Structure 1
Amino acid sequence: MAGLAHFLYSQLFEKLPHPSQRYTDQTIIVTGSNVGLGLEAARHFTRLDAAKVILAVRSLSKGEAAKKSIEESTKSRGVVEVWHLDLGSYASVKEFAKKAEGLDRLDALVENAGIAPHKYSTFEDNEATITVNVVSTFLLGLLLLPKLRESGQKFNVTPHLAIVSSEVHAWSPLNERKSDRIFDTLNNEYTANMSDRYQVSKLLEVFPCRELATRTKQSGKADVIINYLNPGLCHSELARDGPFMLAVMKFFLARSTEHGSRSLVNAVEGGKETHGQYLSDCRVTPPAPLVTGPEGPEIQKRVWNELSAKLEKIQPGIMGNV
């Protein structure tokens, strides 16, 4: 009941700060930025004087339409670029990362892209939601960690890796944790609970974010601020295949897309106090009780170990980037 009350208060009464920090000379990548939160965040970064804003999108034609929209609203030309990225394909993720390694600098990677299907399907070696929202998200993040660190040292800045999670991570009991292997269980088509799958995927982002933040801090390598955020329930295309009740909730409670996008920009503004932290309503907030409770550390290690094994198989040596 307390969680519902907080959700309603947040949706109806919280006013997120309008972004004002300048990003002069900086290069920022935003995934899933042809529509919704990613598009509006990219618009903010462009408005705030970023030197280069890369729209990482699956559809180049939609990306070009988004670029035109940003240029028309901000009157900025020569800033926005459209790059292809399909998180349903590990080869696409690796190709994108290789291209990004050639940038002069990379100051922030905002991983916003995600899916919320209600039917079981597979991309690569997992159920599609897990591949896109979890495995490919961290594959891209870890592939670009060295570039973020290099840019930080070269330009005397602290780069950011911000992952768009959700407060719904607290709504999943993660029953799959009771099995020997969490990811294998999630990939079982006959036992998959797709009504819980998006929430599970958001929870499976939280655990690796926390572990990655701890390990990068301990590594002794150059700092990259890693945080994860909740934009709230917003008008977007994410849940276009979702249930009718979600559409009703969005009609009455959803934030505007621009309002929700402020949380993405806020995460990139965050200082070292946000490293490894969950940001909700643009404030550091405790994540779900399952994460912070007595079971949390063990689940976190299990998720990290299973995900690490997957990533190492996809790209041998990648865990050395941590």
Structure 2
Amino acid sequence: MGFLYSQLFVTPQYPTQPFTGQTVLITGANSGLGLEAARHITRLGAARVILGVRNVAAGKEAKEDIEKSTSREGICEVWEVDLASHSSVLAFGERMSTLPRLDAAILNAAVAKAEFSTAEGYEQSITVNVINSLLLGILLLPTLKATRQKNPSHTPRLSFVVSEVHAFARFPEWKEKQPMKVLSDKSTANMRQRYPLSKLLEVLLVQELAGRVRGSEVIINMINPGLCHSQLGREAGWELKLMKLLLARTTEVGSRTLVAGATAGLESHGSYMTDGHVENSAFSPFVRSEEGGQAREKLWAELEVILEGVRPGVMQIV
């Protein structure tokens, strides 16, 4: 009922809070929610907006579109990053570390796969939506923290775009020793449930990350944009297409929630935001349960091993 009410009767507030002088990163910014969020942030006075994209040509088109619609040239930059590749994420993180400041990062890039495929030894949704999204967030922490030290009056934000569909996922695999490895077994993978499950894993791990970082240094939050018209579900079946036809928000309206996450206060640290507001009661019952806490600890332990194998010492950043 909450989902239907939100989709049909709630319109997130149009962004007005300025980003004057700020440097902001948005991944998945060449289309959909990321593009529209970048447009708002550019319109609101950001000094530098980095479009993190896998498709550079599409990113350049997005840059031109944003600059034309906002009449602000030279603000957007197109930086390549492919979250299906560890080496690409590491190179992108290294490049981001050269920035003199980073005031907000909106990690929006994700995949919704209908067919099983792998990337870096794991099912691709797990690699992109979970493992490398957390890797990128961790790699950004030093620059975000340094920005806070240079500008004590401003606390940087690190926002992960999640989804309310995390509440629909079943996760019996959490009891296994290596849940993400088990989920990457093609013979047992349920790809119809994979996107919601990947978002459940992301929610659990971002919660754990936020618990290890002081909100006074970097505010880490999770954003649920609601069901929106975007390219994310282009591989999905007719059920999602029909639901979008009946209920989906425009990408511009959905993007307002991303901008809200990038301006939210300390109360949003470690929290779930929906319709642009903190709403921790919208975490699934599993996330809030004792079993959910146990699953979170097990996933974090597995993630530590994976990421240390990708770049030794990386977990010392947290």
Relative to the length of structure 2, the TM-score reads: 0.97
Q: Verify: 1:311 aligned to 2:313, yes or no.
A: no
Structure 2 match to 1:169: 166
Secondary structure of the structure 1 residue equivalent to 2:170: coil
| CA-to-aligned-CA distance 1:232-253 (integer Å, 9 cap, x gap) | 0000000001011110110110
Taking the aligned partners of 2:290 and 2:131, their CA distance within structure 1 comes to 25
| CA-to-aligned-CA distance 1:26-83 (integer Å, 9 cap, x gap) | 1000000000000000000000000000000011110000001100100001100000
Structure 2 match to 1:75: 71
Taking the aligned partners of 1:283 and 1:74, their CA distance within structure 2 comes to 26
Equivalent residues in 2 for 1:42-81, closer than 5 Å: 42-81=38-77
Equivalent residues in 2 for 1:32-43, closer than 5 Å: 32-43=28-39
Structure 1 match to 2:235: 241
**How far does residue 155 in structure 1 lie from its aligned partner after superposition?**
2.1
Taking the aligned partners of 2:96 and 2:48, their CA distance within structure 1 comes to 12
**How far does residue 179 in structure 1 lie from its aligned partner after superposition?**
2.5
Choose the corresponding residue for 2:10, options 4, 11, 14: 14
Equivalent residues in 2 for 1:68-107, closer than 5 Å: 68-107=64-103
Taking the aligned partners of 1:140 and 1:293, their CA distance within structure 2 comes to 28
Secondary structure of the structure 2 residue equivalent to 1:21: coil
Q: Which amino acid aligns with 1:185?
A: V
Taking the aligned partners of 2:212 and 2:151, their CA distance within structure 1 comes to 23
Q: Verify: 1:265 aligned to 2:259, yes or no.
A: yes
Structure 2 match to 1:159: 156
CA contact (8 A) 2:126 2:198 kept: yes
**How far does residue 215 in structure 1 lie from its aligned partner after superposition?**
1.0
Secondary structure of the structure 2 residue equivalent to 1:180: coil
Taking the aligned partners of 1:233 and 1:204, their CA distance within structure 2 comes to 19
Structure 1 match to 2:200: 203
Structure 1 match to 2:277: 283
Taking the aligned partners of 1:90 and 1:174, their CA distance within structure 2 comes to 25
Secondary structure of the structure 2 residue equivalent to 1:50: coil
**How far does residue 293 in structure 1 lie from its aligned partner after superposition?**
1.4
Unpaired runs of at least 5, structure 2? none
Relative to the length of structure 1, the TM-score reads: 0.96
Q: Verify: 1:182 aligned to 2:176, yes or no.
A: no
Structure 1 match to 2:130: 134
Moved more, 98-107 or 36-45: 98-107
Q: Which amino acid aligns with 2:188?
A: T
Q: Percent identity?
A: 48
Taking the aligned partners of 1:207 and 1:178, their CA distance within structure 2 comes to 14
Unpaired runs of at least 5, structure 1? none
Q: Which amino acid aligns with 1:297?
A: G
Taking the aligned partners of 2:99 and 2:43, their CA distance within structure 1 comes to 21
**How far does residue 184 in structure 1 lie from its aligned partner after superposition?**
1.4
4+ residue segments displaced more than 3 Å: none
Taking the aligned partners of 1:267 and 1:308, their CA distance within structure 2 comes to 26
RMSD across aligned C-alpha pairs, in angstroms?
1.0
CA contact (8 A) 2:177 2:298 kept: no
Taking the aligned partners of 2:91 and 2:227, their CA distance within structure 1 comes to 32
Q: Verify: 1:25 aligned to 2:33, yes or no.
A: no
Choose the corresponding residue for 1:224, options 199, 206, 218: 218
- Report the number of matched residues: 315
Secondary structure of the structure 1 residue equivalent to 2:159: strand
Secondary structure of the structure 2 residue equivalent to 1:269: coil
Taking the aligned partners of 1:301 and 1:294, their CA distance within structure 2 comes to 11
**How far does residue 181 in structure 1 lie from its aligned partner after superposition?**
2.0
**How far does residue 175 in structure 1 lie from its aligned partner after superposition?**
2.1
Q: Which amino acid aligns with 1:257?
A: T
Taking the aligned partners of 2:121 and 2:138, their CA distance within structure 1 comes to 19
**How far does residue 15 in structure 1 lie from its aligned partner after superposition?**
1.2
Q: Which amino acid aligns with 1:198?
A: Y
